[in-house]
Amino acid sequence: MAKLPILIYPSPIIRKKSLPITSINGELQRFIDDMAETMYAAPGVGLAAPQVGTLRRIIVLDPHDDRKPIRPLTLINPELVAAEGQYMDEEGCLCIPDIKAEVPRFGRVVVKAYDRNEKEIVVEGSGLLARILQHEIDHLNGVLFIDRLSTAKRELVKRRLKKAAKVNS
């Protein structure tokens, strides 16, 4: 396994829509393992393929508190099929370090996908799991959590990001 580099905003790749997976082979299995290693090392609770520069519809996630890297949940070609309720909570992103904001999300979701063994699965989640699923599926569509903020909050975050980029240059 290998740790992959995480792209940082404003990398254009993280704004592009990912392509569906049509076959699961050994190379894809290794990539999934590398994504999991990268997520745990970051440390993060979820990671989408575009965040590591690959426009494929794959996410890995692990919402558990113990954070033991056993084998995270892998979703291939995930699709949000049902959602209800709404709640606000703080959210951050590995692609946008040091920025967090209150983001509205559905409180409960149902996602259909394939696992790494090509078995169709349905994942139902609420709370943190629902938030992670929505956040990572957004990445597959080129959407970042800052896009879900009000216009005023989004502009404030963008100014902070520009200022940080100037300082780091």
Q: Which residues are catalytic?
A: 136
For the chain, the first-to-last Cα distance in angstroms comes to 32
d(CA 144, CA 51): 11
**What is the C-alpha to C-alpha distance for residues 21 and 100, in angstroms, rounded to an integer?**
31
Strand partners, 113: 121
Q: Which two tokens stand for residue 126?
A: 């609420």
DSSP string, 77-106: EEEEEEEE--EEEEEEETTEEEEEEEEEE-
Residue 123: both structure tokens together:
């994942």
